[in-house]
Amino acid sequence: MASYATSAEGPLTQIPSSVCYLPFSAIIPTSKLCNIASQISSDSKPPCRYTFLRHNILKKRFNPESHLGQIEFNFDTSNYSSHFTPEPGKKYATMMQMLQYPFSVGSIHIPASTTKTTIQARPVIDPKYYQGDDGEIDFLTMVESQVFSHKITTTAPLSSMIVKRVFPPLPEKGKEDDLHEYVRNYTTTDWHPIGTCAMGPLPEEGGVGGVVDSRLRVHGINRLRVIDASIMPLHVSAHIQATVYAIAEKGASLILEDYDAISKG
């Protein structure tokens, strides 16, 4: 506080990051966005009711007229790339884009083993970025989001603080927007995984094939609940921490309700 008050220097002049959530309509030209939306596959033959419902919700959210925060832009004053080695003595910033409602669906499995699986065994996780019927939709929107990031960082006043873009290196003049190979080769996680134990009733109950019910109890297993981000069927237009807190509070209340019911019964 003293440093900032006397010379406007010190830790208080530094922010951890600047965050903004935008609809695709704010960053992608209407004609291009409509063309991308027209490529979303038909939902006439869903592999199961769960993916059918998920696909329909995502398709509605992709509406070019939607004001939903579909992409997060996060400007962090550090080097966030594991593919770029910073030079000593230089300062870096990273403009990141996080897709909030991807069509791509990853997988997580218990590792195959000839012996008994233990708690120490690491799960086999495959995010399957840009794969599946509509993985190309995710890819195209991420490319356009990267193009918009370039626009942000080359617009005053931010541009006056940036010496140059170092990764990916600037291409030859006229090809600044050609970021397809960069997006394809360097997409990574932003550490907000959800959905591996998604909430939903069983198919025989008229549901869509979820893992936990509305009281967070695992289907078919007595006295087991899941109370974390994995019960979320879809992502939200936000970092998930506050939502996870709410899930935890609700889960605690459900446990107490059931305990009281058993005690009184």
The angle formed by the CA atoms of residues 198, 199 and 204, to the nearest 5 degrees, is 110
Q: Is 83 a catalytic residue?
A: no
Give which of 245, 254, 244, 230 is closest to 106, Cα–Cα: 230
Helix (H) or strand (E) holding 57: helix 49-61
Q: Between residues 173 and 129, which one has the greater pLDDT?
A: 129
Number of continuous H segments (helices) and E segments (strands) in the chain: 6, 5
Confidence grade of residue 158 (pLDDT, cut at 50, 70, 90): very high
**One-letter amino acid for residue 19 of the chain:** V
Closest by Cα among 195, 187, 201 to 235: 195
Whether 165 shows a pLDDT value over 80: the answer reads yes
What radius of gyration, in Å, describes the C-alpha atoms of the chain? Answer: 22
Please give the pLDDT value at position 112: 81
Q: What is the pLDDT of residues 211-224, one digit of tens each?
A: 999 999 999 999 99
* Structure confidence at residue 47 (pLDDT): 58
- Residue 145 and residue 160: Cα distance in Å, rounded? 22
CB count in 10 Å sphere of residue 198? 19
The predicted structure's pLDDT at residue 211? 93
User: Is the four-CA dihedral 233, 201, 106, 137 of positive or negative sign?
Assistant: negative
Global pTM reads 0.87
* Alpha-carbon separation of residue 9 from 75, 76, 79, 158, 255 (angstroms): 21, 19, 22, 19, 50
Residue 129 pLDDT class (50, 70, 90 cuts): very high
Backbone angles phi, psi at 39, to 5 degrees: -90, -5
Instruction: Give percent of the chain above pLDDT 90.
Output: 64
Higher pLDDT, 203 or 138: 138
- Domain 10-191, architecture per CATH: 2-Layer Sandwich (3.30)
Q: What's the CA gap between 187 and 183, in Å, rounded?
A: 6
Residue with tokens 């220097």: 9
Helix (H), strand (E) at residue 247: helix 241-264
Instruction: State how far the Cα of 34 lies from the Cα of 62, in Å rounded to an integer.
Output: 10
Residue 240 pLDDT exceeds 80: yes
207: confidence class by pLDDT, cuts 50, 70, 90: low
Question: Omega before 203 cis (within 30°)?
Answer: no
How confident is the model over 175-189, as a mean pLDDT?
88
- Averaged confidence pLDDT in the chain: 89
Tokens of 201: 């009733």
Provide CATH 3.30.560.10 ranges for the chain: 10-191
Residue 119, CA distances (Å) to 51, 109, 116, 123 in order = 29, 13, 10, 10
- Lookup result for tokens 């919700």: 57
72-99 pLDDT, tens digit per residue, is 999 988 898 989 999 999 999 999 999 9
Count, residues in the chain: 265
* 67, 192, 219, 239: the active-site residue: 192
